[in-house]
Amino acid sequence: MKNIMRSVLVISGVSLWAGSQSAYADCDTQATVASHVAAGRAYSQSCGQSTCYYATGSNDSLGSNSSSSTVLAETASGYYEHAGLTGNYTNDDGAIVSVPISYAYCGSSQTYPVIVALHGWLGNPSGLVGLLPLPDYTDSHEFITIFPPVPGSGFFNGWHSRPTSDVEAQINWIEGRYRVDADRIYIAGHSAGAKGAYKFSVQSSGRAAGLLISAGNDDQVSGQTPNDATAVIAFHSRADRLVSHSSGEATVENFADAQNCDPSTMLTNSYTTTDGNDVDTQTWEDCDDGMNLTLHHVDNAAHNGVQLGSDFWSAALTQLLQYSR
């Protein structure tokens, strides 16, 4: 994905960005923030003062002007930074980060849920954005998301094989820079990334309130389940030739059994995806701590080819983000 970060941070009247600036009065309003971002301007405002600044230059990244860690810091002086346009940018480690526009509202103390999205084996963050389009929904559903590249190297290296401390490091990075709701941390993943998400939920039990799973199973933890109730929203194609649908189904059923879900209250539904695939759903309700688990069975889609559309993503995120520790 193209790095579209266009940022300016003003501290004591000194800009850390080389682009031109303009000052506006009364900028600590939702309407003003929205208008600047809609116009494609990066935005930063000084809380407690009637001045805010936006960048009018065309730089796509900060380059040598400043480090991302400097610009992302929320300082004691009360400065907030928000990447322009859709709120997407790439940090120094190559992770794609998306922050909702509401984070830039001056003086806000709101905390935000976080979704850490793990790509598949031999994949990358930008490829995963195409499968899990979470940045499209950060504004409407008000959450922060990060798509980190898998650390390390080697042909068989992937999120499924990494220690859970690598995922924890991504959460810590976000928590160190943004106002995060620590009770609403979620792990998403596709394929090997989904396996890594299941692994994290088991080996770091109590950290993730829920999982968003695409084409994954729990083969990295041999059927173990978290000690704490964990919501699961999963989708898997019956035609998947790389990670079998039956193994993904068995994993969700295993989680449902471990969380004492009541099979008599299971809900079923069906719909058609934007690319014409039929989908059947199962939702286990009345699980421990009020958690629900949902599995979407998709017909005739390839391992990397499930396209579920905006209705699915809006509903799935609404469901996932309601769960907390």
Q: What is the pLDDT of residue 63?
A: 26
Using the predicted structure, report yes or no on whether residue 1 has a pLDDT greater than 50: no
Cα 128 to chain centroid distance, Å, stands at 11
| Residue 239: pLDDT over 80 | yes
Predicted confidence (pLDDT) at residue 163 exceeds the cutoff of 70: yes
Question: Tell me, what amino acid is at 313?
Answer: W
User: Residue 172: which pLDDT band, with cuts at 50, 70 and 90?
Assistant: very high
Above 70 in pLDDT, residue 87? Answer: no
Q: Where in the chain is the domain with CATH 3.40.50.1820?
A: 112-321
Instruction: Assign 311 a pLDDT band (cuts: 50, 70, 90).
Output: confident
Q: Is the pLDDT of residue 85 over 60?
A: no
The CATH T-level fold of domain 112-321 is Rossmann fold (3.40.50)
For residue 82, list its beta bridge partners: 43
Residue pair 255/211 in contact (Cβ under 8 Å)? The answer is no
pLDDT at 109 over 50: yes
pLDDT at residue 36 in the model = 53
Percent of all residues in the chain with a pLDDT value above 90, rounded to a whole number: 51
> Taking 50 as the threshold, does the pLDDT of residue 277 lie above it?
yes
Q: For residue 296, is pLDDT > 90?
A: yes
State the virtual CA torsion across 191, 147, 285, 218 in degrees, nearest 10.
Answer: 30
- The span from the CA of 167 to the CA of 144, in Å, is 15
Q: How far is CA 213 from each of CA 58, 89, 107, 216, 267, rounded to the nearest angstrom?
A: 37, 24, 35, 6, 19
Q: What is the pLDDT of residue 200?
A: 95
Note the pLDDT of residue 198: 96
What pLDDT does 250 receive?
A: 96
The stretches of 104-263 forming alpha helices (DSSP H) are 125-131, 138-141, 164-175, 192-203, 245-258
Average pLDDT over residues 158-168: 94
- Give 261's pLDDT tier (boundaries 50, 70, 90): very high
What span, in angstroms and rounded, lies between the C-alpha atoms of 132 and 312?
11
pLDDT digits (tens, 9 = 90+) for 187-223: 999 999 999 999 999 999 789 999 999 999 999 998 8
> Of the ranges 169-173, 275-279, 296-300, which one carries the lowest mean pLDDT score?
275-279
Q: To the nearest whole number, what is the mean pLDDT of the chain?
A: 76
d(CA 304, CA 89): 24
pLDDT at position 35: 59
> What's the confidence (pLDDT) of residue 233?
97
323 vs 84: CA distance, rounded Å: 29
Residue 280, classified by CB atoms within 10 Å of its CB into exposed (0-12), middle (13-18) or buried (19+), is middle
| Segment 303-325 mean pLDDT | 91
Q: Report the SS3 class of residue 284.
A: strand
